[in-house]
Amino acid sequence: MELEGKLAFVTGASRGIGKAIALKLADMGADVIINYYKNKDAAEEVVKEIEAKGRKGYAIQGDFGKKEDIDRVFDEIKEKFGYLDIFISNAVASGREVVGGFAPFLKLRERGTDRIFNITAKGFIWSAQRAVPLMKGRKGKIVAISSTGTKDYMPYYAIHAAAKSALEALVRYLAVEAGPLGINVNTVSGGPIDTEAIQLFPDYEKIKEETAKLTPLGRMGEPEDLAGVVGFLCTEDARWIQGQTIVVDGGLSLVRGKKDL
Ligand SMILES: NC(=O)c1ccc[n+]([C@@H]2O[C@H](COP(=O)([O-])OP(=O)(O)OC[C@H]3O[C@@H](n4cnc5c(N)ncnc54)[C@H](OP(=O)(O)O)[C@@H]3O)[C@@H](O)[C@H]2O)c1
């Protein structure tokens, strides 16, 4: 229960990796505010699961690709709670939102491209600007979720990869500027994990099969694999880790693309 008495906020936590992170932080003793975009019922189920663990849960709708929504969500957190210990930037454009941005390079269009950048990269800027003042004097922890697609080629993934690369750079800059305020800022970068997001890829079944075959640890990643590392970064044992991108992929990036294997 290392996070007992802490208040966490996780974006995009109605399902997938965000949900696993929210539940992990609750397991570790934190009260958890979750954000969702469209799936209110799913978010309310996550709140129930947090409360079943004996923690407080709270859900707030908001589009993290829109600054006015981000400001409204943080206004609500400020008004209702007045402080924050942990902020996890996890939301990602999904479903029809990515049309035009999740495509072969030569077919990229402005709409989906802007949505992905707005949610992944700019959303982190506007959120962190609001999270930091709420962490004053509280040894705050900020973790952004990235993906190893920043380094490897994956079909249709150019814009996500570029936006995640920007996110990792933003984390390093914030880590330097928020360090003197006693705030840890890091990135957790995951390999392929079986969620709805990855089901969008063409040849999803093939990706799953090949990922499991290639990964040194012998399987595809699960949301809980990332959640455990995020939970650790939110503890005081991780206090000397600052501005880093921690790769969590079962060793896949060590071997992917090596033709002799
Ligand atoms: N899956 C992978 O292989 C993988 C690997 C490495 C890293 N990641 C990263 O892990 C994070 C979570 O991915 P995932 O696979 O769990 O995704 P997912 O299953 O598609 O879930 C996306 C989450 O983001 C929310 N969301 C969508 N648009 C939003 C918006 N405009 N504003 C706020 N929230 C929004 C969704 O809410 P609603 O349900 O309400 O729509 C949902 O909770 C992402 O940052 C992703 O890049 C994923």
Question: Quick check: 18 and 91 in contact, CB under 8 A?
Answer: yes
In eight-state DSSP terms, residue 97 is: G
Show me where the domains of the chain are located: 7-252
Atom number, ligand 1, closest to the C-alpha of residue 39: 40
Residues in the chain, overall count: 261
Angle at 250 between CA 247 and CA 253, to 5 degrees: 60
Tell me which DSSP letter residue 190 carries. Answer: E
DSSP code string of 225-247: HHHHHHHHHTSGGGTT--S-EEE
- Which of 84, 39, 92 is CA-nearest to residue 64? 92
Residue 234 CA to residue 228 CA, distance in Å, equals 10
Which stretches of the chain drop beneath a pLDDT of 50? 261
Domain 7-252, CATH class in plain words = alpha beta
CA dihedral 74, 76, 78, 79 (to 10 degrees): 160
pLDDT of residue 204: 85
In this structure, the residue with its CA closest to atom 43 of ligand 1 is: 12
Compute how many other C-beta atoms are within 10 angstroms of the C-beta atom of residue 120.
28
Phi, psi of 237 (to 5 degrees): -60, -20
Distance, CA 120 to ligand 1 centroid (Å)? 10
69-120 tens-digit pLDDT: 999 999 999 999 999 999 999 999 998 999 999 999 999 999 999 999 999 9
The residue nearest atom 36 of ligand 1, judged by CA position, is 12
Separation of CA 177 and ligand 1 centre (Å): 27
Sheet architecture: strand order including 184-190: 57-61, 31-36, 7-10, 86-89, 141-147, 184-190, 245-248
Whether 37 is in the pocket of ligand 1, judged by its Cβ within 6 Å, is yes
Active-site amino acid positions: 157, 164
Which residue spans within the chain are E strands per DSSP?
7-10, 31-36, 57-61, 86-89, 141-147, 184-190, 245-248
CA of 90 relative to ligand 1 center, distance in Å = 6
Amino acid code (one letter) for 173: Y
How high is the pLDDT of residue 261? 47
Non-local CB neighbours of 105 within 8 Å, separated by 6+ positions? 158
